[in-house]
Structure 1
Amino acid sequence: MAGIKEIRTKIKSVQNTRKITKAMEMVAASKMRKAQDRMRMGRPYATKVRAIAAHLMQANPDYTHPYMVERPKLSSVGVVLVTTDKGLCGGLNTNISRLVLARIKEFEQQGVRVQATALGSKGLGLLNRVGVNVVSSEVQLGDAPNLERLIGAIKVQLDDFIDGKVDAVYVATSRFVNTMKQDPSFIRLLPLPSGLEDPFQTGSQDEDALQSQYGWDYLYEPDSQTVIDELLLRYVEGLVYQAVAENMASEQSARMVAMKAASDNAKKVIGDLQLVYNKTRQAAITKEISEIVGGAAAV
């Protein structure tokens, strides 16, 4: 009967695990909708700021903001790595980590120095393990991105770009496509493209809509240069916020899918163990009956 007891213990253990994964699946499903809504609500702000900035730069072609200055040769770059603070979200962190390590290796082979900013505990741990120079970090971001906390971390990279210490700044994040798909993306943040194209949009509809609005004019103060400086700073901060929001929506979706798969696998394991338990129990009963019959026959 020792074998039956062990199987019963395993069944109980897997059942307890399935309760945990099922609860985590339900929590992730609840957070996923909020994270997706937050991600989508951040897009109109960045789009409007980008449109106004593009209009003003079109009207003032003589002024070029430092964020839009292209460097002839890359000698140093900054990488902002956006990951999660917790695990149990499938291959989300693994995919973005693999992409970032490949890009860092490419830069190092070209003789380009890399300095990094980590947004999320998983990314910070990865960068420290591989020996990348981490100039700033922000962890324990919670379920909603806080722009004030993000500004402190990314300001180091923005200031280094203006001072010429880095020639480009990239953002690595998991772009939300749908509940079942999250694409690891390596996006150039600085210098900004001349047309201020949205790096999170792959189609040309948004760009065409922006181009069609170039005829608009604005009343502003104190002067166009000051307004453009403030708008582009807010736009870059909005892009980083959007990258974190995309990653958080991807995290909850990936966790829901991963926990559902874990719950389904646990259910299958329970069924297999239950079958083994029934067979073992039936064999033990048959053996006892045979012993009783054999003893009665001997008497």
Structure 2
Amino acid sequence: MQVWQQQGVEVDTTLIGSKAINFFQASGRVVAQTSALGDQPKLEDLLGTVHAMMEHYTEGQIDRLFLVYSQFVNTMTQQPTVTQLLPFPKQEQAEQESRWDYIYEQAPRDILDHLMLRYVESLVYQGVVECIACEQAARMIAMRAATDNAGQLIEDLQLVFNKARQAAITQELSEITAGAQAV
């Protein structure tokens, strides 16, 4: 975002999630935002922000639409990902030659507009779900580390306790032996 702003590009943001809102609130123009999605977000919770993005794109207020999210690879690896949603990348010539020609009941433009909206909705929802998976993985790793550290702390404290107990027993035995020798 900073690179684009340094190049004089105006960046409009649509923020999803409280962390994104807190982080990006001061930078750029915020078009829409939503938070409090919970651990099981519904597509309906995201529709307002997606429609705001699409409205800005179709009205020509923005020329490109990107999705930035944390991609879940595995529990130990999450990658920050930037994906261009719109406009669609150009197809290679070889791919275009093998296209089929279909006859549509409705106007192709109406179908494409509807499909484009559903496409963006599904990719945004996928991004949100992957971010939640990344967050859960980070929590799991943190809890595993805390459990391991607690186990190590218990072992260390048990060793200190046993040494103190052994020293107390040795002290008592020394006192008993010294008392028996005095008699």
- Per the normalisation by structure 2, the TM-score is 0.80
Change in 2 beyond 3 A, CA 1:291/1:118: farther
Deviation at 1:150, TM superposition (A): 0.8
Candidates 229, 239, 254, aligned match of 2:113:
229
**Is the counterpart of residue 169 in structure 1 residue 53 in structure 2?**
no
Deviation string for 1:39-89 (max 9, x for gaps)? xxxxxxxxxxxxxxxxxxxxxxxxxxxxxxxxxxxxxxxxxxxxxxxxxxx
* Counterpart in the other structure of 1:34: none
Larger radius of gyration: 2
Change in 2 beyond 3 A, CA 1:165/1:284: farther
Change in 2 beyond 3 A, CA 1:225/1:185: same
**Is the counterpart of residue 152 in structure 1 residue 36 in structure 2?**
no
Q: Which of 236-245 and 278-287 deviates more?
A: 278-287
Aligned residues: 182
Deviation string for 1:144-199 (max 9, x for gaps)? 3322211101222222223333332221111122333221112222222123x9xx
* Counterpart in the other structure of 1:27: none
* Counterpart in the other structure of 2:14: 117
Structure with the larger RCO, 1 or 2 (CA within 8 Å, 6+ apart) = 1
CA distance in 1, matches of 2:41, 2:97: 31
Change in 2 beyond 3 A, CA 1:269/1:221: same
Contact map agreement 1:169 1:190 (CA 8 A) in 2: yes
Contact map agreement 2:4 2:11 (CA 8 A) in 1: yes
**Is the counterpart of residue 108 in structure 1 residue 31 in structure 2?**
no
Candidates 236, 251, 257, aligned match of 2:141:
257
* Counterpart in the other structure of 2:126: 242
Contact map agreement 2:32 2:49 (CA 8 A) in 1: yes
What is the letter of the counterpart of residue 284 of structure 1?
Answer: A
Between the aligned residues of both structures, percent identity stands at: 48
* Counterpart in the other structure of 1:215: 99
What is the letter of the counterpart of residue 229 of structure 1?
Answer: D
Change in 2 beyond 3 A, CA 1:294/1:106: farther
Unaligned stretches of 5+ residues in structure 1: 1-103, 198-207
The secondary structure found in structure 2 opposite 1:113 is coil
Contact map agreement 1:221 1:227 (CA 8 A) in 2: no
The secondary structure found in structure 1 opposite 2:13 is strand
What is the letter of the counterpart of residue 69 of structure 2?
Answer: T
Deviation at 1:213, TM superposition (A): 9.8
The secondary structure found in structure 1 opposite 2:144 is helix
The secondary structure found in structure 2 opposite 1:177 is strand
CA distance in 2, matches of 1:260, 1:177: 19
Contact map agreement 1:170 1:187 (CA 8 A) in 2: yes
* Counterpart in the other structure of 1:40: none
Change in 2 beyond 3 A, CA 1:108/1:257: same
Unaligned stretches of 5+ residues in structure 2: none
Contact map agreement 2:10 2:28 (CA 8 A) in 1: no
The secondary structure found in structure 2 opposite 1:260 is helix
Change in 2 beyond 3 A, CA 1:133/1:275: farther
**Is the counterpart of residue 186 in structure 1 residue 78 in structure 2?**
no
- Per the normalisation by structure 1, the TM-score is 0.52
